Amino acid sequence: MTLSGNIRPLSVIIGVNGIGMGHSVRQSVIAQYLRDRGHSVRIVTNGSARVEYFRDLGFPAWDGWMPTLLARADRIYASDAVRANLLRAPVGFAKHMRLRQIIRETGIPDVFITDYEPNTPRLAYHFDRPLISVDQQSKYRHLDLPGVGTYARTADEQRLRHFAPRVDRSFICSYVPLEADDRKVEFIAPVIPDSVRSTQVTTEPVATAYFSRYFDHGPEDSVRNLIAVFRQYVPDRALRIYVQPTEAEKLRRYADGKIEIRFFDREAFIRDMARSEGIFSNAGFNLISEAFVLGKPVHLIPLPTYDQHWCAKVVHEAELGTSAPRVDGGAVLDFLNRSRELRSNVVRHRSEHLAVDPRERIASYLESLPAASSPVLAPSTR
């Protein structure tokens, strides 16, 4: 893929939230697509593991600071933010000033992209460059979405406004149709790796599960209860549960026969999802999106955040899967008994709403931006 004669090559810096892998996977797909079109891409994220992830893909990448903005009763309070960040702020400020210096030395980009993080917005404002958001969370900023149970979107909206007080354009990934009146907002299908879209899909008597940790909410109860249901009521089906290595030691004792506990490996997990009757998981956006692209329904146990409860709610209401507050035998069996019906719903929904690859739209918009008002140096590869 190369640029046509009338499109200038761009220099782009993408800011990536370094919590979990979802943001990194999504932005790496966009970054590789832009690079394949002839553009130069650099990455700012947080955490050494994420920096190495992008460097292994061949991108210059640097570590920024991610302040802690935890919610209390669905709000972020200034006093909590000060206490959580007071000791770390000097190091964070020094990191940010170092980023400014690196960008001056390696080249001020034409445009910054942000994915739910505070570094590239401040850099865009400082260097007077356009700021584009590509994420799934910004719907909580632009849409007046209702509460889900005891959860409200207030903290998510506050966090977005703290991270990026203003953006020039917002691309919001969504696996369900959404609309907004703001002309600066555009909803797009989730960004999914080609490796997922091209995975061979079958339907076998197997289910795949992945439960993650969120502070003190670990996967043990979900894993233990799901295994108990399968062992007692569906012994004819295999169950593969993926866990992080730090959780595996205490969870392996529950496995036997057709029930396996495996270290999380992304490629193996995608292959198992692609051959499963259904997926059991928390309600993370990326996992749900990839399951739907593979044509698989999901049974969701949301972690204690508004984002996860909203995702679980809309999936359940659209009959693309089911959800429950915890792993419960009745809900699990209902999901398995309805798996064929739900799978048909997902396949139909995929054809109607998820078939278009959004990367072309993102790239076309970036390529339509006016040229930078000051010279942009060629980025160094260091």
Percent of the chain with pLDDT over 90: 87
Q: Which residue has the higher pLDDT, 253 or 273?
A: 273
Chain mean position to CA 253: 31
Distances (CA, A) of 188 to 134, 273, 359: 9, 24, 9
Q: What per-residue confidence (pLDDT) applies to 382?
A: 41
Mean pLDDT of all residues in 287-301? 98
Kindly write down the DSSP assignment for every residue of 293-353, as one continuous string.
HTT--EEE---SSHHHHHHHHHHHHTTSEEE-SS--HHHHHHHHHTHHHHHHHHHHHIIII
Q: What per-residue confidence (pLDDT) applies to 249?
A: 83
> Would the CATH topology of 11-191+358-368 be identical to that of 195-354?
yes
Whether the per-residue pLDDT at 380 is higher than 60: the answer is no
Whether the per-residue pLDDT at 133 is higher than 90: the answer is yes
What are the pLDDT digits (tens) for 43-61? 999 999 999 999 999 999 9
Q: What per-residue confidence (pLDDT) applies to 381?
A: 42
Would you list the domain boundaries of the chain?
Answer: 11-191+358-368, 195-354
Whether the per-residue pLDDT at 379 is higher than 70: the answer is no
What are the pLDDT digits (tens) for 84-95? 999 999 999 999
Whether the per-residue pLDDT at 73 is higher than 90: the answer is no
Q: Which of 217, 75, 215, 77 is nearest to 153 (CA)?
A: 75
Whether the per-residue pLDDT at 376 is higher than 60: the answer is no
Q: What per-residue confidence (pLDDT) applies to 1?
A: 59
Q: How far apart are CA 270 and CA 8, in angstroms?
A: 36
Mean pLDDT of all residues in 172-199? 96
Residue 215: band (very low, low, confident or very high) from pLDDT cuts 50, 70, 90: confident
Q: What per-residue confidence (pLDDT) applies to 193?
A: 95
C-beta of residue 1 within 8 angstroms of C-beta of residue 37: yes
CATH superfamily, domain 11-191+358-368, is Glycogen Phosphorylase B; (3.40.50.2000)
> Would you tell me which CATH number, out of the four given (3.60.21.10, 3.40.50.300, 3.30.450.40, 3.40.50.2000), belongs to the domain 195-354?
3.40.50.2000
What are the pLDDT digits (tens) for 76-120? 999 999 999 999 999 999 999 999 999 999 999 999 999 999 999
What's the token pair of residue 243?
Answer: 């866990």
Q: What per-residue confidence (pLDDT) applies to 378?
A: 46
pTM (2 decimals)?
A: 0.93
Residue 362: band (very low, low, confident or very high) from pLDDT cuts 50, 70, 90: very high
Mean pLDDT of all residues in 31-37? 98
Q: Which residue has the higher pLDDT, 346 or 2?
A: 346
Mean pLDDT of all residues in 268-277? 98
What's the token pair of residue 135?
Answer: 């994420």
What's the token pair of residue 36?
Answer: 């394949």
Whether the per-residue pLDDT at 375 is higher than 80: the answer is no
Mean pLDDT of all residues in 285-302? 97
Whether the per-residue pLDDT at 214 is higher than 90: the answer is no
